[in-house]
Amino acid sequence: MKGRYEDENLKWIALLILLVLLVPFLLQGMTYSYRYYLYVLNIAGIYMILTVGLDLLSGYTGQVSLGHAGFLAIGAYSSAILVDQAGIPFGLSLILASLITGVFGLMIGFPALRISGMYLGLTTMGFGFIVRRIIIALRDWTEGSAGLAVSKPQLFGFTFNNDLHNYYLIYTFVILAVILARRIVKSKLGRAFQAIRDSGHAAQAAGINLSKYKLISFFISAIFAGLAGALFAHTMRFISTDHFDILLSIYFIIMVLVGGTSSIYGAVLGTLFIVSLDYLIVPQFKDWLSTFMSLEAGDIQSLIFGLIMFLFIIFQPTGLYGMWIKMRIYWKLFPFNPKKRFT
């Protein structure tokens, strides 16, 4: 059984690597908006790293977080300051920025030891507001609300000069993040996370240290967000507090929900779906919707995303990945046992 799981997992990873290699060439041959599509994919890739970590925290451990935009900001500003002001190499800054963000994740994890649910969500949301105010206050390092220009990423003497270079850099880390997250989920650590999610009292009765594993979950999730933030800063080459507002944290939650909670591949699918919708689909209907409703562009975006989240929660709570699993079961059983195809 274990060998069968590992074989299937390797197939998914191999497929993901193949898609990453082929997509730029397919886009180049299919569309004149090649560079814009690469830019959208780069944004999606950065968010995938974060949402994979968020799914470990919320989907697998059951801890609510509305502050992951704050973790993203910490990773972004930490890496930018380390590289451009402290002179630390980009590769080392990725590690240090991730660890710095992880320390902040530990700090926010302490309230999770005593509160949960809505109260924990409000606490993490407050953390996001605090991070933005601190960034503005430290204007000598961050340039305050004016924003901070960031250098291009460099690794082993190679400078990532364009969106195609950034694409391969980002998706290398996406693949590594997916592999690492899958390893965590199938390990003793991942089983402890899921036990805490299902029943804290039962997990404690089984000898699981709730405090320890909740803190570890926040730490790991923040590390993923910090890595995403560092990549965001150097590939976008400009960051400001406007990039890390509360709406972004909510969108991260929507990405996880739409993809399917407690599913690493679901987080990847949900992120790609929401980012594509935001950058490619919504702009096409913005003017048309404006003729019927007196709404700004941001209001239309919030309306559509809110409607999507509502529909998925009501009609497809297992998300896009759950939908894919149902389709696989259907075709495996077809034409036999039609009553069992969705069980």
For 10-47, the pLDDT digits (tens) are: 676 777 778 888 888 777 766 667 888 899 999 999 99
User: Encoding tokens for residue 21?
Assistant: 């290699």
Q: How many domains does the chain have?
A: 1
91 Cβ contact list (under 8 Å, min separation 6): 155, 156
pLDDT tens digits, residue range 236-279?
999 999 999 888 999 999 999 999 888 898 999 999 999 998 88
- Phi, psi at 295, each rounded to 5°: -130, 145
Give the per-residue pLDDT at 212. Answer: 93
Q: How far is CA 241 from the centre of its chain?
A: 18
How far apart (Å, rounded) are the C-alpha atoms in residues 17 and 174? 10
How far apart (Å, rounded) are the C-alpha atoms in residues 117 and 203? 18
Does 110 score more than 70 pLDDT?
A: yes
Residue 125 is part of which domain span?
2-340
Of the chain, the percentage scoring pLDDT greater than 70 comes to 88
pLDDT tens digits, residue range 306-324?
888 888 888 888 888 888 7
How far apart (Å, rounded) are the C-alpha atoms in residues 311 and 308? 5
Are the C-beta atoms of residues 248 and 69 closer than 8 Å to each other? yes
